[in-house]
Amino acid sequence: MNAYHPLFNTSEAKGIKDWICEVGRRVYNKGFAAANDGNISYRIGDNEVLCSPTMICKGFMTPEDICMVDLDGNQLAGKKKRTSEILLHLTIMKERPDVRAVVHCHPPHATAFAVAREAIPQCVLPEIEVFMGEVPLAPYETPGGQHFADTVKPFLKATNTIILTNHGTVSFGKNLEEAYWKTEILDAYCKILILAKQIGGITYLNEGQSRELLDLKQRLGFDDPRFHMENCDLCGNSAFREGYKAANAPEPKTVAFDPPPSFPGYLSPPSTSGASNNEALIQAITDQVLAALQGK
């Protein structure tokens, strides 16, 4: 397909095509999109969106590969077929008129949380509290169709970053760089959480420290769902509970990274289940050995 559209070859469009290719290279080089994974888009007009094509490695795209679609997903221009997951991008743009750029990929550490269906904890790193906030897990749906795209709808008012259950992530913002940075920040955070858990556990900020970060966030001009909720649980992923109800989906598990039950508990108590299980196993083996010796 190579239909003509007046916005497709403007100087602005050429600049955006270059940026889509640049973000594609970053996503590929960071290991966020293996082979042909991932897709990238940018809203260039009232009803026009530039996007990556289907079945292409994001690390090797050229501006000539980029497509144009309308907000219903109909292809308007481009030599190659548009990405099969464009409806996810368009649903976000229609629900959030402030969003112009969307990046979807499979960053490994964040996607590990998606596969484990594990909630992303809060009140751990200052940078995450100020620049990101809560990250919900949208319920699983087969990728590509409108049902899949609709899974993010209940969460769009409260975040710019969503984990797609058993799939990957989608991040969005006013430009492509901002949308990409959200993905990189999230995956780095998830990597830190996994490493900290392997070392011994997650240390949470206390209530006073968390409120100081929220005050800083407000002074810097960033929004946060917790600013608009009375008596919210600062670290309990509470802002999205209504979203999970609206999506008719269970809330994510909070087992491995469960936040402390109440402040001022800085540190989640260490699990004793492993020790108890080991003691029981040792006792069972000891009993068997003694029984065998007595039988001789």
Q: What's the structural domain count of the chain?
A: 1
Buried b (16+ CB within 10 A) or exposed e, 173-191: beebebbbbbbbbbbbbbe
Q: What's the rounded Cα separation, in Å, for the pair 178 and 185? A: 11
Rounded to 5 degrees, φ, ψ at 84 are -75, -15
CATH, residue 143? 3.40.225.10
Q: What's the rounded Cα separation, in Å, for the pair 51 and 49? A: 6
Per-residue pLDDT of the chain (296 residues), as tens digits, is: 666 799 999 999 999 999 999 999 999 999 999 999 999 999 999 999 999 999 999 999 999 999 999 999 999 999 999 999 999 999 999 999 999 999 999 999 999 999 999 989 888 999 998 888 889 999 999 999 999 999 999 999 889 999 999 999 999 999 999 999 999 999 999 999 999 999 988 889 988 898 899 899 889 988 887 777 776 667 766 667 777 787 877 778 766 676 665 544 333 333 444 444 556 666 666 666 666 666 65
Residue 166 lies in a domain: yes
Instruction: Provide the sign of the torsion angle of the four alpha carbons 167, 168, 173, 179, taken in this order.
Output: negative
* Catalytically active residues, by annotation: 85
* Three-state secondary structure call for residue 169: strand
* Number of other residues whose CB lies within 10 A of the CB of residue 234: 20
Q: Are strands 137-138 and 161-164 parallel, antiparallel or unpaired?
A: parallel
Residue 89 lies in a domain: yes
Residue 220 lies in a domain: yes
In which domain, by residue range, is 178 found? 85-246
Residue 185 lies in a domain: yes
